[in-house]
Amino acid sequence: MRAQHGSGASRRLSRWIPAIAAPIAIGVAVVVVPMQASAAVDLPDLTPAELLEFASASEVDALSGTIEQTSELGLPDLSGLTGTMGGGAGGDASSGGFGSGSGQGDSSGDGTARDAASATDLDDLISLATGTHTARVYLDGTNARLQVLDDLAERNVYLTDEGAWIYDSREQAATHVTVDRAALDALKAEASAQAEAHADEARDRLEAEFGTPLPTPEEVLDQALAKLDESTEVSVGTDARIAGREVYELVLEPRDADTLVGEISVSIDGDTGVALAASVTASGASEPAFSVAFTEVTFEAPDASVFAFTPPEGTAVTEHEVPVPTLAELEQRKAEHAAGTGEPSDRMPQPEVIGEGWSTVVVLPMAGAGAGATEGLDPEAAALLGTLTQPVDGGRILQTSLVTVLVTDDGRLLAGAVTAERLLDAAASGR
């Protein structure tokens, strides 16, 4: 079936796509797992609006499975560069940890440890963009675990109500993150009460001005779909199987000549509404540049033992307690940040957003950039930037199949899923 409807409900998609995207953010990479279309799969027909509504209403809070993902963005071969930087980190690009070292450092001052750490971080970054990994995912309510499977090693993130553990078996290092639950609960309660008061005030003002109640959820959905008509065509594609389960295919195609994205496909479980796979294909390409999918999945609660972690003997453990501010302190920090008077850590440069929709460009100040874009950078960063980028008027540019990055001579970094022409125009005009 191929029901069509101009749409693009990013508000709806944001609820369930993170289930697929979250592992990517901490380094999961793998192989392409194409959907297996089958004439035997014939799910009840749904319109795009109905499929979005079905997916957003998913209430699954327990599952376990294996995820595989690939990123082939067309980057050059950097194996020679990463093999020599930092005195040679050695090993597979996939062998790095979640911030490898986790508090272990060489304070000798000769920079050897810092160079090795920089090389490992670089390997991790390149692996994310071009390498292959497999991961296991476990979820049961507020308990979650991500287990990244490397060659002869593994990396784990455990999340529970008691805090978090981040463990790298190759580095024999673990970080234990805790938070004052009582202080956090108090902050949530205070913020919730304040938000509810503001919501009541806003509702009262709206009804007083227009004399009508707030729109129903169905009306909100219809309005969102109507707005997306302008920038995105959303359709329901071919029913298929992912990890042995029947899925719908939701297809988003941008109507924007400035974007590099040709199509986004999301596979939605026909029974639970959970997203089981996603892929992004560049404009004009026939194969996805990015793909992530469950190869096996069950929606039964995992055994509680998979969420328990005790550091193995010999593990270097770093303890980190996250401070919980009060709501008043948060508001004060926000005011100080706006005025530019807060602590240096609170005055981090905020991104500037140029444009909207598929042709959005994000701009950030880039510390250390100078004339020629690489001047002022440390040798490793300058070598990487020089290898990845090409010179253009006003800076250097990196082009991949899905993302373009521009480092300008005046110290800015611009990025977006857009053409080089769009990025250069944004840098010159600021719009």
CATH code assigned at 416: 3.30.310
- Which of 247, 279, 304 corresponds to the end of one domain? 304
pLDDT value at residue 98: 42
Token code pair at residue 296: 């096996």
Query: For residues 62 and 80, what is the distance between their CA atoms, to the nearest angstrom?
Result: 43
Same domain? For 264 and 391 the reply is: no
Would you say the pTM of this structure is higher than 0.75? no
| Single residue among 280, 304, 328 that ends a domain in this structure | 304
How many Cα atoms are found within 13 Å in the side-chain-facing hemisphere of 353? 6
Q: Is 132 in the same domain as 222?
A: yes
Contact 376, 362 (CB under 8 A): no
Q: Report how far residue 93's alpha carbon sits from residue 131's, in angstroms, rounded to the nearest whole number.
A: 7
Per-residue pLDDT of the chain in tens (431 residues, 90 and over written 9): 444 444 333 333 333 333 333 333 323 332 333 444 444 789 999 999 899 889 888 889 999 999 988 888 776 655 544 444 433 333 333 333 344 343 443 434 444 444 444 444 445 555 556 666 789 999 999 999 999 887 778 999 999 988 999 999 999 999 999 988 888 788 888 888 877 766 666 556 555 554 545 555 556 556 655 656 678 999 999 999 999 999 999 999 999 999 999 999 999 999 999 999 989 999 999 999 888 889 999 999 999 999 999 999 999 999 998 888 888 888 887 787 777 666 655 555 678 999 988 999 999 887 554 445 556 566 776 777 777 888 999 889 988 899 999 989 888 889 999 999 999 999 999 88
> What are the tokens at 44?
């009840």
Predicted local distance difference test score (pLDDT) of residue 6:
41
Angle at CA 292, nearest 5°, toward 43 and 9? 60
Please report whether residue 323 resides in a domain.
no
The Cα 74–Cα 125 span in angstroms is 14
Residue 81 lies in a domain: yes
Task: Supply the pLDDT for residue 370.
Answer: 44
Looking at the structure, tell me whether residues 295 and 147 fall in a common domain.
yes
Per-residue pLDDT tens digits for 2-19: 444 443 333 333 333 333
The residue to which tokens 């994000």 are assigned: 362
Residue 238 lies in a domain: yes
CA distances from 30 to 111, 132, 154, 290, 385 (A): 33, 4, 14, 10, 25
Tally of domains within the chain: 2
Tokens 């793998």 belong to residue: 30
Burial class from Cβ neighbours inside 10 Å (0-12, 13-18, 19+) for residue 107 reads exposed
Helix (H) or strand (E) holding 351: none
Cβ partners under 8 Å of residue 189, min gap 6: none
Residue 72, domain member (yes or no): yes
Q: Are residues 281 and 415 in the same domain?
A: no
**Are 364 and 230 part of one and the same domain?**
no
Domain boundary among 270, 304, 338: 304
What confidence tens digit (pLDDT) does each residue in 106-153 have? Answer: 434 444 444 444 444 445 555 556 666 789 999 999 999 999 887 778
Beta-carbon contacts of residue 177 (< 8 Å; ≥ 6 apart): 163, 164, 165, 166, 320, 321, 322
Domain range for 389 is 349-429
Q: What is the DSSP string of 252-295?
A: EEE--TTBSEEEEEEEEETTT--EEEEEEEETT-SS-SEEEEEE
Cβ atoms 376, 368 nearer than 8 A? yes
Q: Is the dihedral of CA 135, 266, 130, 32 positive or negative?
A: positive
C-alpha to C-alpha distance for 273 and 51, rounded to whole angstroms = 8
C-beta neighbour count of 14 within 10 angstroms: 11
